[in-house]
Amino acid sequence: MRIFLNGDARDIEAGTLDVALNVLGFRDAVVATALNGRFVAKGARPATALAEGDTIEVVAPLQGG
């Protein structure tokens, strides 16, 4: 299926947000996620289904001061 990751089109085989993040290389990363503009908590990712054309935003926290 084709999804959009941070604005870039990607073709992936994944049924859930959790699987998509693993496929896209974010397996152990500490990130915040949004699906179609709505925040998705880490614990909800395995139950969050994906559909053709979905938009996933992945943001890593910044450190420093």
Three-class SS of the chain: CEEEECCEEEECCCCEHHHHHHHCCCCCCCCEEEECCEEECHHHHHHCECCCCCEEEEECCCCCC
Q: Which pLDDT value is given to residue 61?
A: 82
Number of structural domains found in the chain: 1
CATH of residue 40: 3.10.20.30
Q: Which pLDDT value is given to residue 26?
A: 94
| Residue 65 in domain | no
| Residue 52 in domain | yes
Q: What are the 10-residue block averages of pLDDT along the chain, 65 residues in total?
A: 97 96 94 98 97 96 72
0.85 cut: is pTM over it? Answer: yes
Q: Which pLDDT value is given to residue 46?
A: 97
Domain coverage including residue 15: 2-59
Q: Hey, how many other C-beta atoms are within 10 angstroms of the C-beta on 33?
A: 21
